[in-house]
Structure 1
Amino acid sequence: MWTFLPSGGLRVTGADRVDFVQGQMTGDLRGAPTPGLVACAFLNVRGQIEHFARAYRRADDVYLHLDAGQSASLLARLKRYIIFDQVELQDVSETLRTVHVWRADSLPGWQADGPDAQSFELGGATVLVGRVNRTGEAGVDLHYLAQHEDEVRAVLPGEEVSLATLDAARVRAGIPDIARDGFTGTLPQEVGLDVGGPLPAISYRKGCYVGQEIMARLEARGNARYHLARLAGEGWEAGAQVVRDGKVVGQAGLNAGGLSLARLRKELPEGAEVLVGGRPAHAHQLAARV
């Protein structure tokens, strides 16, 4: 099975590309192999998420894979920080396409024991493939040039499955999507991006970046007041307020299949009855991850 992902992307080239991106993102790109793949966030000075991306480190460039509609604003942000850096930035959103293949072992050419980022020929086209868990199973994101769309899609394994079906599977698996769940503007630790979370995207040892001081304080004090949890119910939009006893206690993500991930106050008891956008729901803890 595979699903088309509405996407955007930036290509970063130049001698200083790795160090430049490293100084902006929460993940440790410099510590990644080549080729390699690092999940990361780009924060504001208050430590809140502005963008979530997956950074592909390759021999000649860094490719930042983003959700649809995110590339222009991240491009503008990164340009503001170029001073003496030898880097060039290119928005490649219109020239690339991305699909998620639900089972990595079903994709011809993918090496299960290989690196997290791999390039190979598929359907006569060169593709970039990254190990990405979007459903609770070992899947991959596959990136290719738009001009090769027909050739690549013709050899993809199984049938095309809708984005709504993919969303339902990832919500069941407890895996957030920062853009689709409307979690931009939150702290990474509140929505599952911390070390040990369902979508780890922070290194506390990588050095300075925008928002790093706030991340260091949270690591030292461990005092984030919200965490990622699940809501059972339906009928609300991503970003809806979660209310209990007249008090706002969180923010709901995308509702898919009667479930939603949510940024909720940690003190909420298991099974607590809440209102989400005025509709009844119950709050539940996510299963612990080892």
Structure 2
Amino acid sequence: MWTLLPSGGLRVTGADRVDFVQGQMTGDLRGAATPGMVACAFLNVRGQIEQFARAYKRADDVYLHLDAAAAAPLMARLKRYIIFDQVEVQDVSDTLRTVHVWEAESLPGWTADGPDVQTFELGGGAVLAGRVNRSGTPGVDLHYLARHEAEVLPALKGAEVELDELDAARIRAGIPDIARDGFVGVLPQEVGLDVGGPLPSISYRKGCYVGQEIMARLEARGQTRYHLARVAGDGWAVGTEVSHAGKVVGQVGLNMGGLGLARLRKDLPEDAEVQVGETPARVQSLTART
């Protein structure tokens, strides 16, 4: 099975590319293998998420795989920080496409016991592949040139699956999607991006970056007021407020299959009955059976 992903992307080149991107993102790109891939966030000075990305470190460039429509604002941000750095930033959103292959072993050309990032030919076109879990089962994000789409897609095994089904699977598995769940503008630790979370994207040992001071304070304090949880219910919109006992206690993400992920206060009782807008719902631990 495979699913087309709405995506954007930036290509960063130049002698200082790794150090430059390292100084902006929460993940440790410098410590990654070449080729390698690091999940990360780009924060504002208050430590809140502006963009989420997967940064591919390659021999000649850094490729930032982004959500649709995220490339332009991130490109503008990066260019503001270029002073003496020898880097160039290019928006490649229109020239690249991405699909997610649900099961890595079904991808022709992928080496199961190989590195997390691999390049090979598929259907006559060169592809970049990275190991990513988007459904609860290890899969692969496959990046290819748009002009090769007619050759690459027929080479994939299994049927195309709609994005809604992939969203439903990741919600059941407790895996957030920062853009699709509307979690931009919150602290990464509140929505599963911390070390040990379902989508680890922070290094506390990598050195300075925008928002790093807030991350260091949170590490020292050891907790935030909010965490990622799952809510059972139906019929709400992304970003709808969650209330309990007359007080707002968080917000919900995308709703699929009667479930959604949510940023909720940690002091909310497990299995609490809540209101998502005007809709009754019930809180679930991410470890609960679905």
Aligned equivalents of 1:40 and 1:115: distance in 2? 19
**What are the superposed Cα offsets for residues 73-117 of structure 1, whole Å, 9 maximum, x if unpaired?**
000000000000000000000000000000000001111111111
The CA distance in 2 between the partners of 1:277 and 1:254, in whole Å, is 14
SS at match of 2:186: coil
Are 1:34 and 2:41 matched, yes or no? no
Which ranges of structure 1 fall in alignment gaps of 5 or more residues?
A: none
Task: Show the counterpart of 1:21.
Answer: 21
Q: Between Structure 1 and Structure 2, how many residues are aligned?
A: 288
Deviations 1:228-277 (A, max 9, x none): 00000000011110011111100100001100000000011111011112
Residues 144-192 of structure 1 deviation map (CA, whole Å, 9 limit, x = unaligned): 0000001000111100000000000000000000000000001000000
- Calculate percent identity across the aligned residue pairs: 79
User: Normalized against structure 2, the TM-score is what?
Assistant: 0.98
Cα distance in 1 for residues equivalent to 2:287 and 2:88: 43
Aligned-partner SS, 1:25:
coil
Q: Within the alignment, does 1:98 sit opposite 2:98 as a pair? A: yes
Deviation of 1:223 (Å): 2.7
Q: What is the CA RMSD across the aligned residues, in angstroms?
A: 0.7
TM-score, scaled relative to structure 1: 0.98
For residue 211 of structure 1, what is the aligned residue in structure 2? 211
State the alpha-carbon separation in 2 of the partners of residues 215 and 277 from structure 1.
Answer: 31
Letter of the aligned partner of 2:112 in structure 1? A
2:285 alignment counterpart? 285
Q: What are the residue-to-residue correspondences of 1:69-218 with 2, within 5 Å?
A: 69-218=69-218
Residue 266 of structure 2 corresponds to residue 258 of structure 1: no
Structure 2: 5+ residue stretches without partners: none
Partner in structure 1 of residue 64 of structure 2: 64
Separation in structure 2 between the aligned mates of residue 157 and residue 187 of structure 1, nearest angstrom? 38
Following superposition, the deviation at residue 284 of structure 1 comes to: 1.3
- 1:85 match: secondary structure: coil
CA distance in 2: counterparts of 1:114 and 1:12, whole angstroms: 25
Q: Deviations over 1:202-236 (max 9, x none)?
A: 00000000000000000011130000000000000
Cross-structure match for 2:8: 8
1:215-254 to structure 2, matched below 5 A, reads: 215-254=215-254
Instruction: Report the Cα distance in structure 2 between the residues aligned to 1:246 and 1:203, rounded to whole angstroms.
Output: 37
Q: Deviations over 1:3-49 (max 9, x none)?
A: 00000000000000000000000000000000000000000000000
Distance in 2, matches of 1:111 and 1:271, equals 42
CA distance in 2, matches of 1:13, 1:277: 46
Runs of 4+ more than 6 Å apart: none
Whichever residue aligns with residue 101 of structure 1, its letter is V
